[in-house]
Copies of this chain bind each other. A is one copy, B any other.
Amino acid sequence: MRDTRTEILEIGEMLIRTKGYHSFSYADIAKTLSIKNAAIHYHFPGKSDLGTTILQSLINNVELLKETCKEYSATDKLLRFIEIYDNSKMLDRVCIMGALSPCIDTLPEQMQLKLKEIAELLLKWLNDILQEGKKNQEFHFNENSIDKANLIVSSLLASLLLNKVLNNGVFESIKQSIFESVQISK
């Protein structure tokens, strides 16, 4: 049997990214794990503790991925970056920014701060990737890299949302646009 605390975190993350923070309850998690409501409160006294821990674990994942990619080419780094959203789509989830940004004002303060941290972390990492790729001629584009990073993150984020609503090929279409916009062939 797996560690209950870890399972709670994973189910909580799934619920946030499929239903949203305010649309899931401890009861949802309890039912899935066939335990009682109160057992979850033992691991995470308040819902905001659970939410904050989930966000921190997502931050850790990105930091880890960054570390893993350290020696990759800029192109491969970009591919791994986009994979974050690929994986979301496969699991039929939106990314954490897409899930929580719209209602950030309604979140516990700790969660608001962690969400900002994630946004900054992703944008900064992507900006670094773009600058590296431009410098060593892997990528070719004229805009400044911050604007480009904004555009790429925005379009990836929103394509998961649109895909959820329309179930059309928007995510694949966006991915293709991104590759073309930095002029790598795939």
Residues of A whose CB lies within 8 Å of any CB of B are 18-20, 22-23, 94, 97-106, 115-116, 119-120, 123, 143, 146-147, 150-151, 153-155, 157-159, 161-162, 164-166, 170, 173-174, 176-177, 180
Contact = CB atoms under 8 A, between A and B. Distances in A.
B154 A159 contact: yes
Which 4 A-B pairs rank lowest in CB-CB distance, beginning with the nearest? A154-B158, A158-B158, A101-B161, A20-B103
How many copies of this chain sit in the oligomeric assembly? 2
Nearest to A92: B105
Q: Which of A23, A115, A154, A170 has the most CB of B within 10 A?
A: A154
Contacts of A103: 19-20, 23
Contacts of A159: 150, 154
Contacts of A173: 146-147, 150-151
Contacts of A20: 20, 22, 102-103, 106
A157 B161 contact: yes
Given A94-B102, A106-B19, A158-B158, A116 B166 contact: yes
